[in-house]
Each structure stands twice: as structure tokens, then as C-alpha cells.
């Protein structure tokens, strides 16, 4: 409720600042929301202003927001409020060195420091819901190896795996999350392909989604390995869905359990590292370099776009499992922001 109120308050400020160019500066206006979009922004709305004045940007964001509110008012307001809370937390606690906060960065060497909060390692209890014609085809070993992968990826910065020549060693992070199995539920269901419209969640509802991460394991189809839901969405569809062959340690280029790492990144409010668009589209994290598109396969360093080397080894890119092995400090801070008091997933803490 409090975060909603904050979001509404900031909304009101944005509206008034467009109407009145000379409105006095209030603390809330220091949180720059101009580049945020729940959806991918329109190209014209994200064009960087040439005169450097921030007022035009504020009006752009109002236009974006107006459109979003029309399309799905409830969700958009929630996601806007979550983004506002996240930025306010990061702006108040952490200052990147060597570059500004907020929008897209052109300096690939921006270093963000992990924000010291008093949450320690945040443990996330997990309910695993297996839905297959024969639910025993997803083995206990897959569950065990999946949990081991998550417990390593969200702690171990894996800097030893970085190729020589990168500037990413100071960005690789210990995100400070652990995962424990709370329950495993198996359902035999003849459905051969569940798609990405949350059908599996409707058929087999999540258990305690307010306090637990739910992972559905089922056949998705259409070449989709897994999909997620950002914070702010409906509790009855909250969680991630992973295809059985990509759950835990299996085989093939997506056989190391990193699909779950990537999807849980989305569940914890991370965007794709290239911002789902050209260079000027941002992932709202300042220590990830701008990129013009996803990278796939196992790229040889460097893969250059937007005048800098892409961080293809980031979990939020589209590379093979063996070739992605890091989150950044900026991503860590963004994920942990939603667990702070008033944050969208604060209720998961202490379960």
C-alpha cells in the first residue's frame, strides 16, 4: 500500500512538472523515471533529448505512462511503483563510480558497489510443480542439481571463468540469494504442450506465491525453454515455468540449469541485458554495457555492439548455459531492492 502511494505521489509530481516548467524541485523529482517503460518503449519516446533539458524527458515519460495506464491500469501502476521504489532505494544507498546513475551509460567501465543492506543471504523457499504425462520423468536428481546450480549462480561471481581482456571482473557479484525446496508436487497430465499463456498455472495453481517462489516444470513448446513473470503481476500466475529438458543438469547446450537462473532473474525484476531493443534501450542497470541485441551460442570475446564489448557471459543474455556465469553488482542491487521494507517481494524474507 505504501509503495502504491509513493508511486501515485510521483505520478502526480510528473504530471505537474509537465504543466509547469518552473515548478520547484522536490526530493521525489530526483528519481529520474524518464527512461522506464513497463513495455518496450516507442522509438520516438526514448530518443535522447538534444538540448539536455530534463523537462522534455519527463513529458515523454508521461506520454508513455498514459498509454500504459490505458492498456492495463492495475499492472502498470504496480510496476511503475515497484520501479520507483527500486530507483529510490538505489539512488539513496548506492552511487556508481565513474558514471552517472539512472539512464543508459556509454562508459562500459562504470563500477557499481554492492549496497550494504542488513538482509544477509536472502533465502527463497521454492515449490516445484511438475506436470508431465508421467511426472516421474523429471527426476529427483534434476531437482537436486537445479537447486545446486541456483545456489551457486546467485552466490559465486565465477570471475575465474572470465576470458582475458574484459573489464567485468569488478562487476561480477555475489547476489546473496539461497534457494531451498519447500515442496515438490507431481501431477500426471497428458497435455503435450502448455504454451506461454499461463495455462499450466491455471490448471495447477501456485502454492503460497506471496511467500514462495513457484517453479512449474512442464513441456512448453514453440522453442521456448522457460518464461517468467516480473514482480507486480497477479499472485495466481507468479513464478517461473521451465521445460523439463532444461530443468537441472541434463544434456545439450541448455543442460546446466541456467534457464532457471535466467528466469528467476526476471522474477527478481531483471530485464534482458540488451534492454530488449537497440543501444538506447536500457536494462535499468548501470554496470551492464549497452548492447544492440541479444547474443546467442557461445561467443568469442569480444562481441562488440554500441561501441563496447557486450557482457555475453551475463545470465540475462541469450547465450548457452556454459557460456553465461555472472550477475553484476548493479543487477544484485536491483534484485535486492524489492526485498527491502515496502518492496514487492519483501514478504518472502524470513520464510
Site residues for another protein per CB under 8 A = 39-40, 42-44, 196-197, 222-230, 243, 246, 254, 259, 262-263, 266, 271-272, 276-277, 294, 296-297, 318
In the complex with another protein, which residue's Cβ is closer, 168 or 281?
Answer: 281
In the complex with another protein, which residue's Cβ is closer, 191 or 237?
Answer: 237
The one catalytic residue in 21, 44, 210, 263 is 263
Residues 6+ apart with CB under 8 A from 125: 179, 180, 181, 182, 211, 212, 213, 348, 351
**Nearest distance in Å: CB 170, another protein:** 27
**Residue 109, burial from CB neighbour count under 10 angstroms (0-12, 13-18, 19+):** middle
**Nearest distance in Å: CB 1, another protein:** 25
In the complex with another protein, which residue's Cβ is closer, 272 or 336?
Answer: 272
Catalytic residue flag (residue 210): no
**Nearest distance in Å: CB 22, another protein:** 33
**Nearest distance in Å: CB 301, another protein:** 18
CA angle, residues 308, 310, 316, in degrees to nearest 5:
150
Task: Please state the three-class secondary structure of 124-177 as a single string.
Answer: EEEEEEEEECCHHHCCHHHHHHHHHHHHHHCCCCCHHHCCCCCCCCCCECCCCE
**Residue 202: how many other CB atoms lie within 10 Å:** 10
For the chain, give the longest Cα–Cα distance: 66
In the complex with another protein, which residue's Cβ is closer, 246 or 339?
Answer: 246
C-alpha distances in Å from residue 161, one per residue of 25, 187, 324: 46, 39, 10
Cell of 38: 513497463
- Positions annotated as catalytic residues are 263
Amino acid at each position: 500500500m505504501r509503495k502504491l502511494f509513493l508511486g501515485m505521489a510521483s505520478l502526480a509530481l510528473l504530471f505537474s512538472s509537465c504543466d509547469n516548467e518552473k515548478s520547484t524541485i522536490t526530493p521525489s523529482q530526483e528519481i529520474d523515471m524518464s527512461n522506464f517503460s513497463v513495455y518496450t518503449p516507442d522509438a520516438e519516446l526514448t530518443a535522447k533529448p538534444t538540448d539536455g533539458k530534463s523537462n522534455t524527458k519527463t513529458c515523454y515519460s508521461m506520454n508513455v505512462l498514459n498509454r500504459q495506464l490505458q492498456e492495463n491500469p492495475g499492472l502498470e501502476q504496480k510496476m511503475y511503483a515497484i520501479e520507483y521504489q527500486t530507483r529510490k532505494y538505489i539512488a539513496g544507498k548506492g552511487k556508481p563510480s565513474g558514471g552517472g546513475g539512472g539512464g543508459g551509460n556509454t562508459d562500459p567501465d562504470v563500477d557499481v558497489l554492492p549496497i550494504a543492506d542488513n538482509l544477509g543471504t536472502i533465502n527463497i523457499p521454492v515449490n516445484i510443480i511438475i506436470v508431465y504425462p508421467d511426472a516421474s520423468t523429471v527426476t529427483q536428481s534434476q531437482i537436486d542439481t537445479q537447486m545446486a546450480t541456483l545456489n551457486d549462480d546467485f552466490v559465486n561471481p565465477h570471475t575465474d571463468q572470465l576470458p582475458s581482456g574484459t573489464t567485468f571482473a569488478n562487476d561480477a557479484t555475489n547476489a546473496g540469494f539461497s534457494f531451498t525446496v519447500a515442496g515438490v508436487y507431481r501431477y500426471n497430465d497428458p497435455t503435450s504442450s502448455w504454451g506461454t499463456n499461463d495455462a499450466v498455472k491455471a490448471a495447477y495453481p501456485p502454492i503460497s506465491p506471496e511467500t514462495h517462489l513457484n517453479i512449474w516444470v512442464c513441456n512448453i513448446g514453440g522453442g521456448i525453454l522457460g518464461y517468467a513473470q516480473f514482480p507486480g503481476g497477479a499472485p495466481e500466475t507468479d513464478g517461473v515455468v521451465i521445460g523439463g529438458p532444461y530443468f537441472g543438469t541434463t544434456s545439450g547446450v541448455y543442460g546446466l540449469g541456467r534457464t532457471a537462473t535466467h528466469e528467476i532473474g526476471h522474477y527478481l525484476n531483471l530485464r534482458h541485458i540488451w534492454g530488449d531493443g537497440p543501444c538506447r534501450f536500457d536494462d535499468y542497470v548501470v554496470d551492464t554495457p549497452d548492447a544492440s541485441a541479444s547474443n546467442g551460442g557461445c561467443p568469442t570475446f569480444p562481441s562488440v555492439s554500441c561501441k563496447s564489448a557486450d557482457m555475453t557471459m551475463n545470465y540475462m543474455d541469450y547465450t548457452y548455459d556454459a557460456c553465461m556465469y555472472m550477475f553484476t553488482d548493479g543487477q544484485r542491487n536491483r534484485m535486492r531492492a524489492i526485498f527491502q521494507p515496502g518492496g514487492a517481494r519483501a514478504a518472502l524474507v524470513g520464510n
